[in-house]
Amino acid sequence: MTNDEAGNGAVVAEREVTEPLSFAAKTGFRNARHTHAAGLMLLIAGALLAALVGTWLVWFSAYMQRTMAEEEIRGACRRVMPETADRCFDTVIIQRGGARR
C-alpha cells in the first residue's frame, strides 16, 4: 500500500507495509557465511571439550578401580599373613598381571 492507495487522507509509509527482511538479507550473504563458520568452530570446540572430559572420566574411573583393588588386596594380606603382608601383596599383584612396585 502506498500513499496514493491509502485513501481518506491517511499517510502510510512504505516501510510499514513491506515484509520484514530476513537476517541473511539484512546482513548480507558474506556475514551469513561468517555465522556458519563461527557455528562450526563452536561445534568443533564443544566436541573437543566433550572428548577431553570423557577421556579424563575414563582415566579417573580406572585409577579409582585400581586403587580400591590394591587396598582390598593389602587388607586381605594383612589379615592372612600380617608378618609378610608386603610380600603377599607383591605376589598377588604379579599373579594378577600387574606391574611390580
Could you give the residue ranges of the DSSP H alpha helices within the chain? 14-17, 23-27, 29-80, 85-95
Place of cell 571439550: 49
Cα of first residue to Cα of last residue in the chain, in angstroms, is 88
Please report, in tens digits, the pLDDT of each residue of the chain (101 residues total).
Answer: 555 555 555 555 555 555 565 655 665 555 556 678 888 999 999 999 999 999 999 999 999 999 999 999 999 999 999 899 999 999 998 998 876 55
